[in-house]
Structure 1
């Protein structure tokens, strides 16, 4: 007996095609697939080879979600971005640093320079002329288009040295600052004037070749201190001792564009690297890479030491500035070409040293500073501007929804990775190439990214703030996404949809609830007391100003 098949049921050929498509999706090469399966008719083969259309539902949905999130992120970042017309938080620093690039003024950037250069580009596009100094909490003048600047960031964030010459010297060590001295004295030891390393231009960086510092006329002796010899300033043009004399040892002459001026027996600004050896003690002037505490204004430590090797860069120096009215200026001087990789290493050491020198003052309580352990737990936030009732106020705090959930999933992620490795070792779990790549990129790299962006703050001695956790938070959120996706992978489709809807709804609701913190609080402090969920959140503390 032959029964008619229902028109609502798929034909056997359709079922067969679907099975073949499922098999083919896991095969990289169609020839391999055809060799291991029975022959197909031409129609089925063409359908298998045909790529999915861009208008396929999955492609369309993913594209729509990506565009929608992008538009939403622009709207949220631009919304009320000019609500406050005062210099807020790091605008005081980065706005000023960006203007240095705009005005072509050199300065030591403690961060990789591209970020500040982009800020300078934003200022240029906004028509900024570099006149405003971005003083903290000052009002923007009408001539400064601060709205356009904020919107831009929201889219992303020399010759022969003769006696009597006035010079400045730069170290080649881990803290490559300029040799510096000031009237303040060491608290113990010689109790004479401090000699330090300083990263900024200053009159106290100028030295007159003899050696005596130009403004204080203090010679540089070397006295014994713990571990190395102390370097200090004392005396005058007529007073000194046998430890004041230093011998110059040329260690390297860099080639310049003007070969006729290259005399390897002379000291040239910028191109000659040399060491300074104390004639009496035999030690060398050096920058250790460490910093003095508060009594030394956290400037670089300068000592006289016996180097471990001729190539110990902590004892290398070069002349940076040279002023001598008795000598003519050579307008044909061509500076040496950049040695990219050496300069790259030196500038990164300089940035790391400068950053690590930003240590907290133990004698002063900094209400804005925070400890790294407080960031993943949202133990505290940060006031970004003046907290007066008439001021538009901003409070830096991570979303409790994203931060707390991502922090909670970090140990879970580690457990999941080890469980999968254990099951694979026990041969109870099969790892395809696609699955290995998914675990590596989504889980392992995300967790490693969080570790590399968070753990260094636990080790460094510099002062830290809440915003230092932002890069690590980005990776923590990706870890959270992997844990959610892995947990729901064996659930049915409807439970997945409900879970994702709840997560998205929670994320949006928490943002809406805490929106005044980032969009601005123009009203009195007490009106925002409801946002202060934890004691460490000083959103509405009237005693703190």
Structure 2
């Protein structure tokens, strides 16, 4: 954003008006955000996830989530400090809180969500030095019922939006201090560190925080480039700024980000339902996990009962259960899958390929051996044949076959060990990277990464890949039960913090990429978001809450985005035409228009990337972009009104200016009032029924409230 120079001190009248406007904004924000914050008194929408995760932090129970940890940590901290004991189950939306102390977490999230309104005012003021622009920008965010709904519950979004706006505020304050000559002063350093901290906090809540990091990066480059072109300043001045900003906006945020993960991994030190997504070595650090503090044989021998884990990031355990593949899906034999949770159905007995008889002497399994794997619970052998896999048709189907461990030649697998640990031929527990190659088909046991339908209990497909170089065809033995061999402590496999940090990210990235909608879940596509095409129920009981944007604001944003592009192109043409006549810059001399340019860049960065994402998407993903488009609308609204007023005779300017602005404020206020039941709760008939009080507000058939 081009920051307006504030070298000239505002008059006492302007200063009083600024504070009056700011106080009005803060007061209305407080009143609207905290009104009915305790209602409904049951679990709403994703509170079932993030409230539950807050409980796990309080109980120090490890879990897996696709988002970085900070948001859940702060929710847990707010609950802990306000008396929540971490015992409520948060099983499903609609569950009554009863005597659970949930209000502290709601109030905390609401407070951070409320902060985005005054921050919008400060951002636009800092860029334009226009009270009207700042007021309209804040008002458009304040009176959006969608933002009100999204920031009143135990969710990550209020925290994300707060830290995102904090990053932008810090960014423009640093630019303002730079232009006013305060570079390297304590307040300049303070705002620079504030910006870096906000960036770290933002991306520590959700990875979409990367978008605001890109915005701050582009803006910083623009800032430095402007200073570099100022011939009154030596080059070394820009170089020093470059190093200072790299320190505060790259190195410092990276350290804060890593510190957050260090705290996360230290706090969650007890085994939970997310263990199976991580490597065996990672799990060995979790109290209560079967691998923590345990001891087991260092080597794998014939007759050992083992669990076999896929080494793909987030890979599960080789698993079977007494259910057959359905008719039309290969042979109707027992299903083989991978499962990310610990289970007795993950256990396999390692046998020689040609006999069930075990010698009294210990015989180790070695690289190149032919083996059979018998499922301990069902006594069927791991088997493959020349029928296509259920989902990945170019692979072969893998099944459980035989009775009481007796099958056929298609049950034989050759063990091939990767890396240095295979040099002596022995198979090491945990550390050996193993390939199971089918002896007759010459294909490798692998996971496709695809989720089976309901008949496969939505577990992961296991198949046999003729491509023996498949990177997903690598396994390791995790649990190794074999009384004939001496045990060694599992602590020898303990990973470092850096290894756990890297693995955590690999698992989160894979989890994000593989997100699929649940049955009956309402998803959406990016084209639907700006037009407010369809909302989303937060509470579907008798107290209905529906996430939907204020259509007056959302559709107005689209209009002003279009007007901005038209005005911007006209000004670019004017600047090009005047370039050879004088040195006046049409764009840079108009701080409102340059502010709109950067707000447009912010909107683009927070909206367009979703078009390229293959993962499941939801309506609430648009709200970071909405903040930028609403601020842009506020700036362009004031810019256009000022242009119109300039054309009016002086005698009528004051009256018409205040009439237009007053009418806009009244219209926005009224639109908020009539749509506020979407946020505060609706009772009685739905809007599709003619006797509903909301019937007249159902402007689109896709709105379901």
Q: TM-score range by the shorter chain?
A: 0.7 to 0.9
Query: If each structure's helix is expressed as a fraction of its own residues, which one has the higher value?
Result: 2
Contact 1:180/1:206 (8 A) holds in 2: yes
Distance (whole Å) between structure 1 residues aligned to residue 334 and residue 513 of structure 2: 24
Task: Summarize the alignment of residues 462-501 of structure 1 with structure 2, pairs less than 5 Å apart.
Answer: 462=616, 464-488=617-641, 490-492=643-645, 494=654, 497-501=658-662
Moved more, 407-416 or 185-194: 407-416
Distance (whole Å) between structure 2 residues aligned to residue 208 and residue 471 of structure 1: 52
Instruction: Report the secondary structure of 2:382's partner residue.
Output: coil
Aligned to 1:267: 428
Aligned to 1:180: 319
2:494 aligned residue (335, 341, 346): 335
How many Å apart are 1:272 and its aligned residue?
Answer: 4.5
Contact 2:413/2:439 (8 A) holds in 1: yes
Aligned to 2:395: 228
Runs of 4+ that moved beyond 6 A: none
Q: Deviations over 1:436-471 (max 9, x none)?
A: 96354222232232222x424xx5363x54334333
Assess, with a 3 A threshold, how the Cα gap between structure 1 residues 207 and 513 changes in structure 2: closer, same or farther.
Answer: farther
Contact 1:451/1:472 (8 A) holds in 2: no
Kindly tell me the number of residue pairs found equivalent between the two proteins.
465
Distance (whole Å) between structure 1 residues aligned to residue 634 and residue 45 of structure 2: 31
- Cα RMSD (Å) of the superposition? 3.7
Instruction: Report the secondary structure of 1:528's partner residue.
Output: coil
Distance (whole Å) between structure 2 residues aligned to residue 352 and residue 54 of structure 1: 49
Assess, with a 3 A threshold, how the Cα gap between structure 1 residues 134 and 342 changes in structure 2: closer, same or farther.
Answer: closer
How many Å apart are 1:169 and its aligned residue?
Answer: 0.8
Instruction: Report the secondary structure of 2:442's partner residue.
Output: coil
Gaps spanning 5+ residues in structure 2: where?
Answer: 113-157, 159-290, 352-372, 580-584, 647-653
Contact 2:513/2:614 (8 A) holds in 1: no
Aligned to 2:558: 407
Distance (whole Å) between structure 1 residues aligned to residue 384 and residue 681 of structure 2: 56
1:78 aligns with 2:78: no
How many Å apart are 1:239 and its aligned residue?
Answer: 1.9
Moved more, 130-139 or 500-509: 500-509
Q: Deviations over 1:358-407 (max 9, x none)?
A: 2465xxxx3745555443333333333343xxx33212221112222223
Aligned to 2:409: 241
Aligned to 1:504: 665
Aligned to 1:162: 300
Distance (whole Å) between structure 2 residues aligned to residue 412 and residue 297 of structure 1: 52
Task: Summarize the alignment of residues 330-369 of structure 1 with structure 2, pairs less than 5 Å apart.
Answer: 330=489, 332-333=491-492, 335-337=494-496, 338-339=498-499, 342-343=502-503, 345-355=505-515, 358-359=516-517, 361=519, 366=520, 368-369=522-523
Instruction: Report the secondary structure of 2:318's partner residue.
Output: strand
Assess, with a 3 A threshold, how the Cα gap between structure 1 residues 404 and 228 changes in structure 2: closer, same or farther.
Answer: same
Task: Summarize the alignment of residues 30-429 of structure 1 with structure 2, pairs less than 5 Å apart.
Answer: 57-58=13-14, 61-62=17-18, 64-136=20-92, 137-142=94-99, 144-156=100-112, 157=158, 158=291, 160=298, 162-163=300-301, 164-173=304-313, 176-182=315-321, 183-185=323-325, 187-210=328-351, 211-224=373-386, 225=388, 226-236=393-403, 237-251=405-419, 266-269=427-430, 271-307=431-467, 313-321=471-479, 328=487, 330=489, 332-333=491-492, 335-337=494-496, 338-339=498-499, 342-343=502-503, 345-355=505-515, 358-359=516-517, 361=519, 366=520, 368-370=522-524, 372-387=526-541, 391-426=542-577
Distance (whole Å) between structure 1 residues aligned to residue 408 and residue 637 of structure 2: 73
How many Å apart are 1:247 and its aligned residue?
Answer: 0.9
Which protein shows a greater Rg?
Answer: 1
Moved more, 201-210 or 439-448: 201-210
**TM-score when scaled to structure 2?**
0.58
Bigger RCO of structures 1 and 2 (CA < 8 A, at least 6 apart):
2
Gaps spanning 5+ residues in structure 1: where?
Answer: 1-24, 29-50, 254-262, 540-545
How many Å apart are 1:148 and its aligned residue?
Answer: 1.5
Distance (whole Å) between structure 2 residues aligned to residue 508 and residue 188 of structure 1: 59
Aligned to 1:38: none
Contact 2:305/2:347 (8 A) holds in 1: no
Distance (whole Å) between structure 1 residues aligned to residue 427 and residue 512 of structure 2: 33
Contact 1:166/1:214 (8 A) holds in 2: no
How many Å apart are 1:80 and its aligned residue?
Answer: 1.1
Contact 1:283/1:304 (8 A) holds in 2: yes
Q: Deviations over 1:98-124 (max 9, x none)?
A: 222222222221223322223322332
Distance (whole Å) between structure 1 residues aligned to residue 530 and residue 590 of structure 2: 32
Instruction: Report the secondary structure of 1:101's partner residue.
Output: helix
